[in-house]
Amino acid sequence: MEERKLNEKESLELITQMIQNSKKNLQVGRGNQFILWGWLGAITSLAVMFMLMWTKNPVWNWLWFAIPVIGWPIMMWQLKKAEKPVVTFTDKVLKAVWMSIGSVGMAGIFLMAIYAKNMMLMLPGACILIAIGVFITGVVLDDPKTKTSAWSTLFVIMMASCHIVFMKDHFIWYYIVFSLGFIGMLVVPGYHLNKEAKKHVQGA
Amino acid sequence: MFKELNPLLHSELRLAVMSMLLSVEEAEFTYLKQETKATAGNLSVQIDKLSKAGYIEVTKTMKGKMPCTLCRITPKGVEAFEEYVEALKTYINR
């Protein structure tokens, strides 16, 4: 491309082409963070369950903090590795959404750890926050499957946890439900977003 | 009546840079070079012209150990671009 004068038609064509070019190739790996936090949540949930069953000691609930302790450095490494030469408005909006959700979530966990008599509300609370985040991500990226995944999984989790709490069912199911919830709300949309991004790049 | 086209924007490379910056928050020099397929020297000169006109903001930073130049469009640049497109319409709709 050189510094040459264009006619009016060429100008319009160039504007359209450049705007389209700047929209492609920018979404690759977007689902990686969903996959990371989803698997981490699911595995931690099961780990807490096994340790509680094995030792009968509630101190193992502190294992929940393994999620931010392990997840945060890996996420920072992932972000550094995937640093893009361009930042879009979508990136900016999604970063703000997840930073707000992360801050509210962490504050909630700390307050509960200090004041709550039990941590029963922690998992449903975390799931509501995550579902809101995943849903907003779906809205911003205009991806119906991500939106559906967020709300349908949240609905199933809420129904299942109500059943477990009110019917006084085996409490161990609580952890299994939330482990599956992390997979349905984060891991599934994560792989879906990565697949869509790959398709987008190949089609561009 | 035809409106006059802004001469600073009515050039292939500068218009390409402005169009790309309009649809992103910020972009690195290397990205603009790759997308426009321009030479580094030429692109640098055109970016400097746009920057001097106040249409774009250029920030020099470091990415690891490598220098990195970030470009972003300014409100003045957005306004100039919109005026340019309005002027183009008068030619297209004649």
pLDDT over threshold 80, residue A43: yes
Could you list the residue range(s) of the whole structural domain that residue A146 is in? 27-80+87-198
CB-CB under 8 Å, B22 with A88: no
Rounded Cα gap, residues A77 and B13, in angstroms:
36
Cβ contact (<8 Å) for A12 and B36? no
Residue B89 and residue B79: Cα distance in Å, rounded?
15
Whether the pLDDT of residue A26 is over 60: the answer is no
Q: For residue B50, give both structure tokens.
A: 């746009």
Beta pairing partners, B57: B72
pLDDT, tens digit, 9 for 90 and up, residues A164-203: 666 665 677 778 888 888 998 899 999 998 888 777 666 5
Select from A125, A111, A109, A119 the least CA-distant residue to A181.
A125
- Mutual angle of helices A89-115 and A122-140, in 10-degree steps: 170
In chain B, the domains with their CATH numbers are 12-92 (1.10.10.10)
Cβ atoms A160, A195 nearer than 8 A: no
B83 pLDDT more than 60: yes
Per-residue pLDDT band at A125 (split at 50, 70, 90): confident
Closest-CA distance, B36 to chain A, in angstroms, reads 6
Amino acid present at A86 = V
Q: What is the CA radius of gyration of chain A?
A: 21
Q: Is a pLDDT exceeding 80 seen at residue A5?
A: no
User: Which pTM value belongs to this model?
Assistant: 0.75
| Structure confidence at residue A193 (pLDDT) | 87
The mean pLDDT value for A25-38 works out to: 79
Of all residues in chain B, the one with the smallest CA distance to A24 is: B35
Please name the member of B23, B63, B92 whose beta carbon is closest to the beta carbon of A12: B92
Q: What pLDDT does A198 receive?
A: 79
Residues of B in contact with A10 (CB under 8 A): 12
The residue ranking higher by pLDDT, A117 or A37, is: A37
The residue written with tokens 């996959």 in the block is A35
pLDDT tops 80 at residue A66: yes
Pairing of β B66-73 and β B56-63: antiparallel
* Contact yes or no for A18 and B16 at CB 8 A: yes
Tell me which residue of B2, B27, B64, B61 sits closest to A80, measured CA to CA. Answer: B64
Cβ-proximal residues to B13 (8 Å cutoff; 6+ apart), any chain: A1, A2, A3, B36, B38, B42, B43, B46
**Residue B64 vs residue B31, higher pLDDT:** B31
Average pLDDT over chain B reads 89
How far is the C-alpha of B7 from the C-alpha of B50, rounded, in Å? 11
Question: Under 8 Å CB-to-CB from A50, ≥6 apart: which residues?
Answer: none
CB atoms within 10 A of CB B8: 17
pLDDT at A119: 62
Q: How many residues does chain A have?
A: 204
| pLDDT, average across residues A21-26 | 62
CA A193 to chain centre: 11
Is residue B42 within 8 A of residue B9, CB to CB? The reply is no
The pLDDT confidence band at residue B46, using thresholds 50, 70 and 90, is very high
Burial class (CB in 10 A: 0-12, 13-18, 19+), B19: buried
Asked if A87 and B20 come within 8 Å (Cβ–Cβ), the reply is: no
**Does residue A120 form part of some domain?**
yes
Please, where are the H alpha helices in B1-94?
12-22, 29-36, 40-52, 75-92
A interface test, pick of B4, B18, B20 with most A CB neighbours within 10 Å: B20
For residue B34, the distance in angstroms to the closest alpha carbon of chain A comes to 10
What is the mean pLDDT of the segment spanning A71-93?
Answer: 84
Among A6, A15, A21, select the one facing B35 at the smallest CB separation: A21
* Residue B28 one-letter amino acid: E
Mark yes or no for CB contact B36/A1 under 8 Å: yes
Q: Which residues of B touch A8 (CB under 8 A)?
A: 5, 88, 91-92
Chain B contact probe: residue of A5, A13, A19, A86 with most B CBs at under 10 A? A86
Most confident option among A36-40, A76-80, A169-173: A36-40
Residue B50 has a pLDDT of 95
Indicate the number of domains in chain A.
Answer: 1
The pLDDT of residue A18 is above 60 = yes
Between A151 and A112, residue with greater pLDDT: A151
- B24: which chain A residues are within 8 Å (Cβ-Cβ)? 22, 86-89
Residues of A near B (Cβ–Cβ under 8 Å) read 1-6, 8-12, 14-15, 18-19, 21-23, 83, 85-89, 91-92
Q: What percent of chain A has pLDDT over 70?
A: 84
**Chain A to chain B Cβ contacts (< 8 Å):** 84
Mean pLDDT of chain A: 82
Q: What per-residue confidence (pLDDT) applies to A46?
A: 92
In a domain, A21, yes or no: no
The separation between CA A134 and the C-alpha centre of its own chain, rounded to angstroms, equals 6
Q: What integer pLDDT is reported at residue A2 of this predicted model?
A: 60
Average pLDDT over residues B4-29: 89
pLDDT of residue B53: 94
The answer to whether B36 contacts chain A (CB < 8 Å) is yes
Q: What is the CA radius of gyration of chain B?
A: 14
- Look at the block and give the residue holding tokens 């928050």: B25
Amino acid B59: pLDDT: 93
